[in-house]
Amino acid sequence: MAVYIQTIAPHTALMAVYTASMAVCMQTIIIYNIAIASYTKKIKFG
């Protein structure tokens, strides 16, 4: 059982880091898209 925990712990930590980085990435993309959308609206409607 101890060996199993030792094996899975680094993997779980890696997954947590991966999930967190993916979430940040998605958030950044969403913010970026919103910024572009509002910027183009400003140009279109002056």
Q: What is the DSSP string of 2-45?
A: HHHHHHHHHHHHHHHHHHHHHHHHHHHHHHHHHHHHHHHHHHHH
CA 7 to chain centre: 26
pTM for this model (two decimals)? 0.54
In eight-state DSSP terms, residue 46 is: -
Spell out the per-residue pLDDT of the chain, length 46, in tens. 577 767 777 888 888 999 999 999 999 999 999 999 998 888 777 5
Cα 41 to the center of its chain, rounded Å: 26
